[in-house]
A and B are shown apart, each in its own frame.
Chain A
Amino acid sequence: MELIGQGIVQALRLLLSGDAEVWRIAWLSLAISATATLISLAVGIPLGTLLALARFPGRGFAISLVNTGMGLPPVVVGLFVTIVLWRSGALGFLELLYTPTAMVLAQFVIAAPVVVGLTLAAVQQIPGQFRLQLLALGASRPQMVWSLLKEARLPMLAAVMAGFGAVISEVGASLMVGGNIKGSTRVLTTATVLETSKGNFDVAIALSLILLALMFLVNWALTWIQQGRRA
């Protein structure tokens, strides 16, 4: 318990003293995970909507794949993305391994199925009559889809939170594809692992607390958007 107390003191000290390294690590965590989440939204929302509304052979199989993907173990994603990005791998010519871009890519792979799956669920929970009504009122197909998405936007914010939460707290993939390089790919989770292995438990606790605070702030902002109109 004494250690956690020390950790809290250390966290405040690191943040208030403007320790450039810690701020940079925190900023990088936020930037990488937010970018990955945004790309996942850009890809995942259309895909989830398509899966919810379209009927095609193999749809059930596709949905099962997505649902499995929602629980993809980050280390597995990390391993495969690493192998693809190796110099000898399929995308090796891009020289992306051990860069923040590689981390965005790995985190995208982790977050995208979450976004697809939750979008699918959000759109599907809208009663079928609503769709029929829209069409009966003369809405075109794009207009109908847009109305559905507007209707589903509250549960879809949950998709944003779940996707972001999954990637910012993830450590296995970030460690593998990023390499935990100081000043370049060291994020809050990988730095926490490193400080723990170095025996600097107070710094590790401080970093964890900063991560928790960051997650809280982001989720608080999203919740505020989600719940705003009911509050």
Chain B
Amino acid sequence: MGRALKGRPRLKLWVVLLVILSALWLSAPWLSVLWPAPPAAAQSNTVILSTTTSTQDSGLLDLLVPMFEKKTGMTVKTISVGTGQALTLAARGEADVALVHAPSVERKYVEEGKMRNRRLVMYNDFVVIGPEDDPAKIKGMPRVADALKRIADTQSRFVSRGDKSGTHVLELGLWKQAGIEPKGAWYIESGQGMGQTLGIANGRLAYTITDRGTWLAFQKRISLPILVEKDKLLLNIYSVMEINPANGPRVNVAGGKAFADFMVAPETQAVIKVFGLDKYGQPLFVPIAGKSDSDFQ
């Protein structure tokens, strides 16, 4: 191997590396993302919103967040996880505001003083879906607890989220109502989001509980019809809560409050009222700002 032969590939290597490097570092917009404004400024301008996958998957936040950012000049970082994790993060002060849907758990956090100023934002509802031939014969049953009991009695397959999400919390509450501790080969825990869980239920021809919005969004992909709906227990109520700054360092209290106020403001509620109408022929959420839990019991 002569030196001349060796020299060329090395040259090429450096040229390519240089091109990659300069492309990376000379692109100014990228630099500004990599090194955001200094922490002091970021503090007041960035709001971390801890929320659930359903609000993100429905596309509602893609509409509302830019509205809020334009109005206030703040930047929202939306972290969408299960309600359980969303609340844990908020309780640790790792978020500035929470938008979640598990009233029983929320009230506990408020009582403990981790969250404050819980306000209802909107609701939609859960439905029980399952295979067309309905082996447990639950179709049209008015009481969801009875339907679940029959699913358990007939050992029909049921897919649970199993992830402490709002949907999972509601499901567990319903099993309790039905007086059943769900376990056994028929009870499948997916440990995944609503979309994935619907896919599993569809593939294994099982029953499951889903929010109506996700079910509508998945119409093209799944063939499980709604079997039980409209029980009052199936209401899916979303609320917004601010975080107690004592939960951790650097909580953006003003930003969190601004976002919470925005969610219950009349203009925002008007947008929620019609959201989904064009795509699904029916709105996905009903705005309920100003109401209280007792209005839904």
Binding site for B on A (CB under 8 A): 27-28, 31, 34-35, 38, 86-88, 92-95, 97-101, 104, 150, 153, 179-182, 184, 194, 196-199, 201, 221, 225, 228-229
Contacts and interface: CB of A to CB of B under 8 A. Distances in A.
Contact of A221 (B10, B16, B27, B62): B16
Contacts of A94: 39
A180 B10 CA distance: 38
A150 B12 CA distance: 14
Dominant SS among interface residues on chain A? helix
Given A98-B79, A100-B34, A182-B78, 12 more contacts: A27-B30, A28-B33, A31-B30, A34-B20, A38-B21, A88-B248, A98-B48, A99-B34, A150-B6, A153-B13, A225-B12, A229-B6
A133 B49 CA distance: 63
B242 interface: no
Interface stretch (B112-120, B165-173, B216-224, B226-234): B216-224
Contacts of A194: 56
| Interface size, B (range) | 35 or more
24 contacts: A28-B30, A28-B33, A31-B27, A31-B30, A38-B24, A86-B248, A92-B250, A93-B249, A94-B39, A95-B36, A95-B42, A99-B33, A99-B34, A101-B35, A104-B34, A179-B79, A181-B79, A194-B56, A196-B195, A197-B53, A197-B192, A198-B57, A199-B218, A199-B220
Contact of B16 (A104, A179, A225): A225
B97 interface: no
Contacts of A38: 20-21, 24
Contacts, number: 99
B104 interface: no
Contacts of A229: 5-6, 8-9
Nearest to B218: A199
A164 to B, nearest CB: 11
B16 A228 contact: no
Contacts of B36: 95, 99, 101
B193 interface: yes
Contacts of B16: 221, 225
B28 to A, nearest CB: 12
Contacts of B80: 180
Contacts of B39: 93-95
Nearest to B15: A225
A194 B46 CA distance: 23
Contact of B94 (A28, A88, A150, A221): A88
Contacts of B276: none
B94 A86 contact: yes
B147 to A, nearest CB: 25
Interface string B196-234: 101000000000000000000110110000000000000
